[in-house]
Structure 1
Amino acid sequence: MQTVQLDEKKNVTIFEDQLVTTEKRPWFGSMPSQLGEDFSFVVMGDRCGMATEGVFEKALDMAKDLKPDFVLAVGDLIEGYWKSAADTHQEWDDIDDKIAAMGLPFFPVIGNHDYSNQTMAEVWRERKGLDYYAFRVGDTLFLSLNTEHTPDEFSDAFIDIIKRITADVKREPERANEHMSAFVDELKGTLSPEELQGFGKIKLSFGEEQLAYFRRVLANNADAKWTFVNMHKPGWKSESEEYQELIQMLGNRSYTIFAGHLHAMEYARVGNAEFIQLGRTGGLAHGDGTNPSDENVVLWVTMRGGMPTYRVIHLDGVNDLTAYQPHQHNHGESV
């Protein structure tokens, strides 16, 4: 397995699959110098899936100001489901420019919106090269998986519905919940009962080549004190045998799995394993938006002494100072 030491003064190593020949890479930037055992990073949820404009950009601006050491993203950075490479490139150009302008190291994984058919998979490889990778910061190991090895392709009729509702949400974000209800109703009227049942299932695939790569990474880093696994779809909610094989590989080590896809914040712990489903960071709420788990969030992670702590930052509670304009106070208000 090829390793790339980013800098002799940095405590960071990238592990690359020896089968990959491309020079393209999906991450942005380079790690801070003198990165030690204690560090912090932000995890961003799904930007897309009927995105509200400006939310993900707000998260990027906040990260730029607060300066974590780096940023992870759980995928669905673009709306996707394009049939043409030109449309796919255009959407990637827009978000890639915004991510690069943040100026922080940014490590994404593939979501179903990013890699939804063969054309989009080819564009990813052309622009970003690797579709899975790993890196290590001191005694902490990071695995970045592709849950869309075999894209779950939809019919043209289904994609047309997605495109139309996405355009409606973009045009009228204040009516987003209404548009989501209309989307669900249209699906019920369009899909067969069998198709509806299949639509509600979490389907993911890694492929043997990817699993073999992570098997080698884990074997070569058995001394890591903590392992973070970043993937788009929450495998623990699936019936995937490949996901179960991954869990067996992780064994008794202490680890956290980040995922997205369902646009709702959830946390669970089983023994030495943590399962964190990221809430949305721009994508449309799958619920009615009244539950705190449905809100737009990012996750701040701090590593100290080889152990993580977490803080959920709700973006609706993060405001620019100019939102607080002077107003007249009555002395009685302080009584």
Structure 2
Amino acid sequence: MKTFSTKHSPKILILLTIVGLTSFFSCQEKENTPPPIFTHDVDTGNTPWTKETFDNDSEKFSFAVHSDLTGGERPRIYEVAIAQLNLMRPELIVNVGDLIEGGAPDSASWDQQWDSFDARTEAAKAPVFYTGGNHDLTGNFAQGIWKERYGKNYYHFIYKNTLFLVLDSEDHGKERNDEIEKIRNEGIRVLDEQGREAYAQTEYANLPERSFGNISEDQMNYFLEVLQKNPDVKWTFLMMHKPMWENPENVRFFELEQALEGRNYTVFNGHTHTFRYLERNGMDYINLATTGGVQNNSLGRSMDHFLWVTVDEEGVSIANLLMEGILDKTGHIPSDGDTLVFEKK
């Protein structure tokens, strides 16, 4: 009986191995190749659409900006805003401060207010980046609560080569913080007991720091260093609560503006509860109105809204979205918001 050897020469084994690996990787490549993003069965030459270059740049992203909740927060507005943002699906959300009412030093009250804000904010699908306002950060007591809960009261981050600078416009220095806190507490007492006309005559209502804010030398130097280390980002966004450029004596902020020369940037702020647009240094400075705060239409339009900002390689586009116009698939304002009033006429 003849027997046959199952042995192969080394050359044949190598060849079989190569063929096997080629077949394996070919199958793997087919399995891992994503399907085309667009297919069709039109073969007539002409097509019933305009182009096949889609607005889907991998570096493009959109984020939302919301504004003040305070001065007498109007119930349920902020909850509706979060529900609407969850429909819109931004990649991230930032705000411009005045997130809680604050008040006189009372640790239990402050923690309860922050707990309430945090719980409602946690419902957002996107991460939310906090900016402190005067209600959140006036005085060393308030700043201590912030630092205990959230860490830094000014900071920066980079997302898809886009730089975000989050400023603390209540950074007056420890001694001045104490003075302003006492003056503010007295002003709020007058407001609560005697009303807005009496409050308008108080020392706090007429403080330059109340209207314009300030930053410390340490904060200025921090952001100057951040800008120096990140010269090649696509865009730079500044988030702050108060319009610090309106104070002609705010030299530190002006030095920060000088460091921004030569780069593309946009500034967002709140505080006035009125929407205002300004072109300054050839750039957009946008003062948001409210996202649940008391409305003030004495200076211009006051409405509940948020900004929708899209960044791509070509630049930035900004849309103002009125909360009363963002409806769910059933044609209603989400979170049972149809009965709410979103703009003071």
Match of 2:99 in 1: 77
Structure 1: how far apart are the matches of 2:131 and 2:251? 21
Amino acid at match of 1:191: T
- If the length of structure 1 is used for normalisation, what is the TM-score? 0.74
Counterpart pick for 2:146 among 124, 140, 149: 124
Question: Given that residues 38 and 306 in structure 1 are in contact (C-alpha distance below 8 angstroms), is that contact kept between their aligned partners in structure 2?
Answer: no
Match of 2:306 in 1: 298
The Cα RMSD (Å) is 2.4
Amino acid at match of 1:42: A
Structure 1 residues 307 and 88 mapped into 2: Cα distance closer, same or farther (>3 Å)?
same
| Helix, strand or coil at the partner of 2:158 | strand
Structure 1: how far apart are the matches of 2:310 and 2:102? 32
Question: Given that residues 212 and 246 in structure 2 are in contact (C-alpha distance below 8 angstroms), is that contact kept between their aligned partners in structure 1?
Answer: no
Residue 103 of structure 1: CA displacement? 2.7
Counterpart pick for 2:198 among 176, 186, 194: 186
Counterpart pick for 2:318 among 293, 303, 310: 310
Structure 2: how far apart are the matches of 1:301 and 1:262? 21
| Corresponding position: 1:147 with 2:166 | no
Q: Which moved more, 1:195-204 or 1:258-267?
A: 195-204
Structure 2: how far apart are the matches of 1:252 and 1:137? 20
| Helix, strand or coil at the partner of 2:109 | helix
Structure 1 residues 39 and 269 mapped into 2: Cα distance closer, same or farther (>3 Å)?
same
Gaps of 5+ in 2: 1-56, 334-345
- If the length of structure 2 is used for normalisation, what is the TM-score? 0.72
Question: Given that residues 188 and 199 in structure 2 are in contact (C-alpha distance below 8 angstroms), is that contact kept between their aligned partners in structure 1?
Answer: no
Match of 2:339 in 1: none
Match of 1:42 in 2: 64
| Helix, strand or coil at the partner of 2:80 | helix
Question: Given that residues 139 and 306 in structure 1 are in contact (C-alpha distance below 8 angstroms), is that contact kept between their aligned partners in structure 2?
Answer: no
Amino acid at match of 2:186: A
Residue 295 of structure 1: CA displacement? 1.0
Match of 1:109 in 2: 131
| Bigger CA radius of gyration | 2
Match of 2:189 in 1: 160
Match of 1:57 in 2: 79
Structure 1: how far apart are the matches of 2:236 and 2:288? 17
Question: Given that residues 59 and 312 in structure 2 are in contact (C-alpha distance below 8 angstroms), is that contact kept between their aligned partners in structure 1?
Answer: yes
Structure 2: how far apart are the matches of 1:129 and 1:319? 36
Give deviations 1:183-229, integer Å, cap 9, x for gaps.
432224x537xx65436962322112111111111001111121101
Question: Given that residues 254 and 272 in structure 1 are in contact (C-alpha distance below 8 angstroms), is that contact kept between their aligned partners in structure 2?
Answer: no
Match of 2:290 in 1: 280
| Helix, strand or coil at the partner of 2:207 | helix
Structure 1 residues 198 and 148 mapped into 2: Cα distance closer, same or farther (>3 Å)?
closer
Q: How many residues align?
A: 268
Structure 2: how far apart are the matches of 1:139 and 1:269? 24
Question: Given that residues 281 and 298 in structure 1 are in contact (C-alpha distance below 8 angstroms), is that contact kept between their aligned partners in structure 2?
Answer: yes
Amino acid at match of 2:323: L
Gaps of 5+ in 1: 1-34, 165-181, 325-335
Residue 76 of structure 1: CA displacement? 0.4
Question: Given that residues 212 and 245 in structure 2 are in contact (C-alpha distance below 8 angstroms), is that contact kept between their aligned partners in structure 1?
Answer: no
Residue 37 of structure 1: CA displacement? 2.0
Question: Given that residues 258 and 278 in structure 1 are in contact (C-alpha distance below 8 angstroms), is that contact kept between their aligned partners in structure 2?
Answer: yes
Structure 1 residues 299 and 83 mapped into 2: Cα distance closer, same or farther (>3 Å)?
same
Residue 271 of structure 1: CA displacement? 4.6
Amino acid at match of 1:228: F
Match of 2:112 in 1: 90
Structure 2: how far apart are the matches of 1:270 and 1:303? 20
Residue identity over aligned pairs, in percent, reads: 31
| Corresponding position: 1:241 with 2:263 | no
| Helix, strand or coil at the partner of 1:141 | strand
Residue 148 of structure 1: CA displacement? 0.7
Structure 2: how far apart are the matches of 1:91 and 1:306? 41
Question: Given that residues 252 and 272 in structure 1 are in contact (C-alpha distance below 8 angstroms), is that contact kept between their aligned partners in structure 2?
Answer: no
